[in-house]
Amino acid sequence: MDLHQLRERIAQIESEVAASLTKAGSGDAVRGLDNRVLGKEGSLSALITSIKEYPPDQRGQVGKLVNEAKARVKASFEARLAELRAADAQAEASAAGAFDATLPGVAAPMGAVHPVTAVQWEVERLFERLGFTLEAGPEMESEYNNFEALNIPASHPARDMQDTFWLTNGMVLRTHTSPVQHRSMKKFGPPLRVIAPGRCFRYETIDASHENTFHQIEGLLIDRDIGLPHLIALAKMLLTEVMQREVELRVRPGYFPFVEPGLEIDMNCRICGGKGCPTCKNSGWVEVLPAGMVHPNVLRAGSIDPDEWSGFAFGLGLTRLAMMKYGIRDIRVLNSGDLRATVSPVRLGGPIVWEKSA
Ligand code: FA5
């Protein structure tokens, strides 16, 4: 189990504990659960015993993750026991005709992983298996990295494609994760395989599928003799794996100054099944994976010789992919702090469809 899988396993155990705890109606039931999770052979304790299977430099982190989870789970057992004791006391009191207003209220449900984070982890794991390095760029970027290095000079009309938040210090809130392409070329040189997840910002009119703050995952692969078939095969594999079903793709020409040729790879809308709805702007298709072959000017800006090396890049729309995976109709719930957007869909299985709360 790698660290991502470990995190997922911990989240799964915690989510199962939360579900079982709400059903545990007696102190004995809680103590039984405690034993199954934290006992000598309990599911969390088992994770600690596997620590020796990790490389020495990861063991500290494994121990920390598991011990923190143990502390949280222990606290949740104690809270549930207190709740049950309080409920017993209240039942006794009301049987005796009294009402104790000092008893604690019902505990709020525990949260879980945000849907965007869950899909991000899945994508990271897939690319880790394919030998990609995980990189992160800054959210506050230089104009050069966000635009010029990507073949978008100041005078270029393509600047209008991405409405930018300019900062008073002359920097920008990055409009996409593509600046990490340039950073990675400079950092690693060819050949390279990198993915870079992160938040992006645009001065957008917000609607069901557009936010001013959203997530992308940049992908960049540079090697010898790389072509579009590699890109399209990878796209199909990526989307099929995340959606856990055969995904229909639509590949169209797309214009981005930093790739040539450029593609828009769309997937069929799972909210309406392709019939058309506000989420897919009534087209039946959702843009999730713009991509293309890296433009020679971008390779040159990254000190890579385009006569020797070629590669592809893509900018996965992670937020929209999470919406497709979990049947979320409206992007606004994801930044809203609405707890329904964290609790049930990710950990407790099944797709659910919410409307934006009023
Ligand atoms: C780009 O941002 C390019 N950097 C992608 C790219 C990378 C192309 C590498 C070629 C090579 P675009 O503006 O289409 O492209 O955004 C990429 C994806 O981000 C979109 O398909 C969409 O899924 C998502 N996205 C864009 N704007 C928003 C928004 N306002 N809200 C939510 N998701 C958005």
Q: Does 326 lie in the same domain as 224?
A: yes
Instruction: Name the β-bridge partners of 266.
Output: 250, 287
Is residue 350 pLDDT above 60, yes or no?
no
* Domain containing residue 284: CATH number: 3.30.930.10
Q: Identify whether 258 is part of a domain.
A: yes
> For position 147, what pLDDT does the model report?
96
Q: Give the list of residues 6+ apart from residue 91 with CB closer than 8 angstroms, or none.
A: none
Residue of minimum CA distance from atom 20 in ligand 1? 317
Of 54, 69, 96, which residue sits at a domain end?
A: 96
**Is pLDDT larger for residue 184 or for residue 53?**
184
Q: Does 342 lie in the same domain as 234?
A: yes
Cα angle for residues 147, 153, 156 (degrees, 5° grid): 105
Q: Does 156 lie in the same domain as 24?
A: no
* In the block, residue with structure tokens 């930093």: 258
Instruction: Read off the pLDDT of each residue in 84-97 and give the average, rounded to a whole number.
Output: 80
Ligand 1 centre to CA of 290 (Å) is 7
Q: Give the list of residues 6+ apart from residue 337 with CB closer than 8 angstroms, or none.
A: none
Model confidence at 254, pLDDT cuts 50, 70, 90, reads very high
Q: Determine the structural domain holding residue 11 and report its residue range.
A: 3-96
Distance CA 319, CA 287 (A): 11
The distance from CA 50 to its chain's CA centroid, rounded to whole angstroms, is 27
Q: Does 168 lie in the same domain as 80?
A: no
Is residue 111 pLDDT above 80, yes or no?
no
Closest atom, ligand 1, to C-alpha of 318: 23
Overall domain count for the chain: 2
Q: What is the pLDDT of residues 25-46, one digit of tens each?
A: 888 999 999 999 999 888 988 8
Distance CA 115, CA 319 (A): 9
> For position 344, what pLDDT does the model report?
41
| Residue 121: exposure state from Cβ atoms within 10 A (0-12, 13-18, ≥19) | middle
Q: Which residues surround ligand 1 with Cβ inside 6 Å?
A: 176, 178, 202, 204, 210-211, 214, 216, 256, 259, 262, 287-288, 290-292, 313-315, 317, 319-320, 331
Q: What is the pLDDT of residues 194-212, one digit of tens each?
A: 999 999 999 999 998 899 9
Minimum mean pLDDT among 11-15, 225-229, 354-358: which range? Answer: 354-358
Model confidence at 88, pLDDT cuts 50, 70, 90, reads confident
Nearest residue to 324 via CA among 116, 12, 15: 116
> For position 158, what pLDDT does the model report?
80
| C-beta neighbour count of 157 within 10 angstroms | 8
Is residue 351 pLDDT above 80, yes or no?
no
Is residue 265 pLDDT above 80, yes or no?
yes
Of 62, 96, 130, which residue sits at a domain end?
A: 96
Which one of 287, 323, 332 would you pick to mutate in the ligand 1 pocket, going by the greatest count of ligand atoms within 8 A of its CB? 287
- Supply 57's token pair: 């430099």
| C-beta neighbour count of 22 within 10 angstroms | 14
